[in-house]
Structure 1
């Protein structure tokens, strides 16, 4: 029989590669043997090798030791009260969110929360939810699966044009206001105010995807939209970028009128509750200050990587500049028109997994800029230098004047 997970990993290793408990050169060798890219610069994932295993285990032990017996039974579909209480305090302090514990519903990831909200809005008679021209197609797909149309909002050099909401007349709008994904800009102050005014005037809802709001490198993070009107803005946050997506911990801060409906939908239709032990561990993690310490450490690490990316571009591809604000775990590298597909082919030839901007364009949106979306947060510390060298080899000779013009069109220079 198996002697533990180490033995299981050994048997599952591709191509007979030796099992190692963490990433590194051995992991890259295993990927090559399995026909996978040698370097992964796709966006959406933090550096998984930096997951604080020892500190998390300590929080887990303390949480389980203090947990009452009832915590391991069926519970409130909104999530454990301990976690909702600590989350309310943390979000108010870190993101400027108005979040009473009774307004929070814990969910198993952003997509889970979005699905629950979309279904609740559809039951209330909503017919459409506007989305940004560039974003994750999976998220728009979840809205459509719930029965909502997803008209795209146009964009310009200052970001998403929320003034188009008047003509589209949706019932809701999904925005990545603090750090637009993937273009990288922040919604300017006047447009933040305008979208909240639209919601107040029409009775619509703003669905705020605050996926990496804790990671701003040049100044204090921009506060959440939700703080401007907690009754019209639905705030969605997640531990997927600050800790790891495998935890499946996320949260919604809902207007009071939606709490019972969303919680009922979660409990009776989709899912009863997220795993109690992980919820309690995350509550302990937040309450002890471990999360603040981890975020500060990762903020320094990711800022260093972004700075190294900018310096490498200046040295090897001076015609290409990283677009967007200094934030998050990814950067968009604008390319001259007609070069994105060639750059992706070159990346694949160099064993580099990276994404093109066109992959994130809404099918009904007007054609826009070309570029690469580089997830500099994804590689481990040991893999990052080689991944950056491979990226520079791809970009050498690609840049030019067209790339700089595309950069302004992609994400603008607005820096609220």
Structure 2
């Protein structure tokens, strides 16, 4: 007899064979196995003795005896008012792993939590307008028509698409309308849908920035496209090298290149559009942090320059928080329908209440107010970062400061990114080297073009005090690494 626990505890299959010996022993063995295999995790509540006895068709006394035996062996614990729960798993139990996968050996000493985390791409989480968001969700719950609680239009909420495209026209100089927009659950879903659509249109190769955002090459290959690198210089993507790749699509971050921080220059923008016309290609624009700029005029979206050739992708992961998993794709008509169809076949869409809440938040003006507030926070942090880096490393080492929430710290020639990153980690500072953003070539023998060693410093979610401490630690890490190498040619920071 096989019974599935339905209420009063986690789902678990218990199989009893009435002719295979004492039922209590069978129940004990299966519960032990479930705990050992982690199908029942520490702290999970087991059904009451009465409920389990009913489900299994045995006497309650049998189940009481089972629980008492497991309690004596340390597998479960009984808490007054909380029932019987799985105890913390004894240290001697093996850690399960998938067949064919060797379990990792335990780490001798766990890594210390980072006191300063320069991770790229994390916004100021302490300033997320949760009160405004809560009000917007409440208003959406009150005002959303009952009919819109059903499955959404595959393209997403019409209201949000109208608001987002109006915002894009107003703030990013775009020219998309609601019918060009598709609401998605964040940038990566939008990218996956767009790449699948390009493959349907016969595009087989896509060019990516090198260095560029992590995992874009992996996502492209999962969509069935051949991904090729194109180098980035002080003016952005090298369009001349793009022409040599034979690609008909390119994905780039033109407003504030990730991770170098440069903006795609005016002539490069024109050359890029000309290239797309020549090859009947498409430009995918990752518009991830263009709202944050400090010492220069905002750079308009490529979508407004060439709407027939550009698919623009955006989200609120950087402007609000990654937890509000909403984004959008603005696509030319030739691709928009395919993206909608890809979305329809792959998911039921983003939560409708959240879409309505975001539309209301943006319409109310509170979204713009939030951006103005955090822009000043980022400006102050950027200024501290610049001053501390100049004091510790000398002038001209920090790049990409005019916009965004990250900068590039150039190290002296001969410095080892990996050694500096590892040393800083032992001192409580987490940071990534530029090498982590290099293109992962499918050809294992292909060597990327050499780039000067550098560190990528995200300052979106670190305080000014943490920035000061983090830069001092990085300077110490560089000095230690230089002394270890004994490199007289490498100039250590003062």
Tell me the TM-score normalized by structure 1: 0.85
Q: Which has the higher contact order (CA 8 A, sep 6+)?
A: 1
1:65 aligned residue: 142
Q: State how far apart, in whole Å, the 2-side matches of 1:33 and 1:286 are.
A: 43
1:334 aligned residue: 410
- 3-state SS in 2 of match to 1:150: strand
Contact 1:104-1:253 within 8 A present in 2 as well: yes
1:13 aligned residue: none
Please list, as runs of the form range in 1=range in 2, the aligned pairs for 1:43-122 lying within 5 A after superposition.
Answer: 43-122=120-199
Q: What are the Cα deviations for residues 8-65 of structure 1, in whole angstroms up to 9, with x where unaligned?
A: xxxxxxxxxxxxxxxxxxxxxxxx9984222211101101111111111112212221
Contact 2:121-2:458 within 8 A present in 1 as well: yes
- 3-state SS in 2 of match to 1:77: coil
2:369 aligned residue: 293
- Deviating 4+ runs (over 3 angstroms): 32-35, 396-404
Contact 1:319-1:403 within 8 A present in 2 as well: no
For 1:221, which of 294, 298, 303 is the aligned residue? 298
Q: Does residue 1:243 correspond to 2:320, yes or no?
A: yes
Q: State how far apart, in whole Å, the 2-side matches of 1:90 and 1:221 are.
A: 14
Q: State how far apart, in whole Å, the 2-side matches of 1:403 and 1:306 are.
A: 27
1:306 aligned residue: 382
- Name the Cα RMSD after superposition: 2.3
Q: State how far apart, in whole Å, the 2-side matches of 1:143 and 1:210 are.
A: 18
Contact 1:317-1:396 within 8 A present in 2 as well: no
Q: Does residue 1:344 correspond to 2:434, yes or no?
A: no
Contact 2:208-2:250 within 8 A present in 1 as well: yes
Q: Once the 2 structures are TM-superposed, how far is the Cα of residue 169 of structure 1 from its aligned partner?
A: 1.7
- 3-state SS in 1 of match to 2:398: coil
Q: State how far apart, in whole Å, the 2-side matches of 1:288 and 1:209 are.
A: 26
Question: Please, which moves more after superposition, 365-374 or 184-193?
Answer: 365-374
Tell me the TM-score normalized by structure 2: 0.72
2:466 aligned residue: 386
For these two proteins, the number of residue pairs brought into alignment is 371
Q: Does residue 1:280 correspond to 2:360, yes or no?
A: no
Higher helix share: 1
1:278–1:366 CA distance, 2 compared to 1 (3 A) = same
Q: Does residue 1:366 correspond to 2:449, yes or no?
A: yes
Residue ranges of structure 2 left out of the alignment (5+ in a row): 1-7, 9-108, 442-447, 483-487
1:205 aligned residue: 282
Q: Once the 2 structures are TM-superposed, how far is the Cα of residue 396 of structure 1 from its aligned partner?
A: 4.5
Contact 2:119-2:432 within 8 A present in 1 as well: yes
Please list, as runs of the form range in 1=range in 2, the aligned pairs for 1:149-160 lying within 5 A after superposition.
Answer: 149-160=226-237
Contact 2:112-2:426 within 8 A present in 1 as well: no
Structure number with bigger Rg:
2
Q: State how far apart, in whole Å, the 2-side matches of 1:109 and 1:397 are.
A: 36
2:5 aligned residue: none
- 3-state SS in 2 of match to 1:137: coil
For 1:324, which of 378, 394, 400 is the aligned residue? 400
